[in-house]
């Protein structure tokens, strides 16, 4: 990544993270996301801590039809959901997991993927 691009991203990380907080998004058009249910977040985490940057978890294993968790769900909140229509008979449901929605974990991914220091 070019140094200029990296510096611009580093200066804007806080702005982007704040923009993706559920509490920020809730003040706008709440209907833009199909996961919102009557102004309630899709995960059981306070709205001022829930970050929607990774709405779709980067650790969800979609390489197989039934899905899964690539990091073995560090919070222990994933579970199999019965889906008789699938060959495996179930699909991985991580809706109780808050790992990718915590700002500190998002920052870890940004640092890993872009080498940011923020």
One domain, residues 48 and 104: yes
3-state SS assignment for residue 10: helix
Q: Looking at the structure, do residues 48 and 78 belong to the same domain, yes or no? A: no
Structure tokens at 52: 């929607």
User: Which residue range is the domain that position 110 belongs to?
Assistant: 1-55+99-118
CA distance linking residue 53 with residue 100, whole number of Å: 8
- CA angle 76/77/83 to nearest 5° reads 125
Predicted confidence band of residue 48 (pLDDT cuts 50, 70, 90): confident
Reported as a single tens digit per residue, the pLDDT across 84-108 is 999 999 999 888 888 899 999 999 8
Residues in the chain: 118
Residues 11 and 36 in one domain: yes
Q: Please tell me the total count of domains within the chain.
A: 2
Do residue 48 and residue 105 come from a single domain? yes
How many other CB atoms sit within 10 Å of the CB of residue 103?
16
* Res 117: pLDDT: 56
Residue 6 has pLDDT above 80, yes or no: no
Q: Are 89 and 111 members of one domain?
A: no
């Amino acid at each position: 990544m070019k140094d200029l691009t990296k510096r611009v991203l580093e200066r804007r990380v806080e702005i982007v993270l704040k923009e993706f907080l559920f509490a920020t998004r809730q003040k706008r058009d709440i209907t833009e996301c199909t996961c919102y249910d009557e102004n309630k977040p899709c995960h059981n985490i306070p709205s001022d801590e829930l970050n929607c940057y990774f709405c779709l978890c980067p650790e969800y294993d979609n390489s197989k039809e039934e899905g899964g968790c690539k990091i073995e769900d560090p919070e222990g909140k994933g579970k199999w959901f019965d889906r008789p229509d699938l060959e495996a008979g179930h699909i991985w449901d991580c809706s109780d997991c808050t790992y990718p929605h915590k700002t500190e974990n998002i920052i870890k991914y940004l640092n890993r993927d872009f080498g940011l220091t923020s």
